[in-house]
Amino acid sequence: MSSNNDNITRYSDEDLALFKSVIDEKIRIAKDQLASYQGQIAELGESADAKFKSLGESTTSMDTERLFEMASRQEKLIHHLQNADLRIKNKVYGVCRESGKLISKERLLAVPHATLSIEAKQRK
């Protein structure tokens, strides 16, 4: 083992609290964005009913499809972030599922739901 970090098996409670605050904020933002997409989908649905059989129908359909895709991505992100929150509660957050070593703080702050270190991700 070449460095002290190799011997650390989990992040401190202080570090976990920091990560939790980052995750909580990202969940809040993602839920707000999801609600926005769902509102836009509802609005497009109402306007599509009014414009039925008009030239705008195909554009509305493409817009709705794009919004459904973006909403689906937000739902997946929320799910991943909630799973990360569970890992924090279980004090196993930040451990690479491939190597068992700690994922760097920088990576976790950038991608708080990461379950792989950069090295493990590059190997995949």
The stretch 9-30 carries a mean pLDDT of 96
What pTM did the predictor assign?
0.81
Query: Is-contact 117 94, C-beta < 8 A?
Result: no
Pairwise pLDDT comparison (43 vs 18), residue with the higher score:
18
CA–CA dist 107, 104 (Å, integer): 5
* Residue 102, strand partner residues: 95
pLDDT over 90 percentage in the chain: 69
Helix axes 13-50, 57-89, angle to 10 degrees: 160
The stretch 33-41 carries a mean pLDDT of 95
User: Which pair of structure tokens corresponds to residue 89?
Assistant: 């509660």
pLDDT at residue number 4: 45
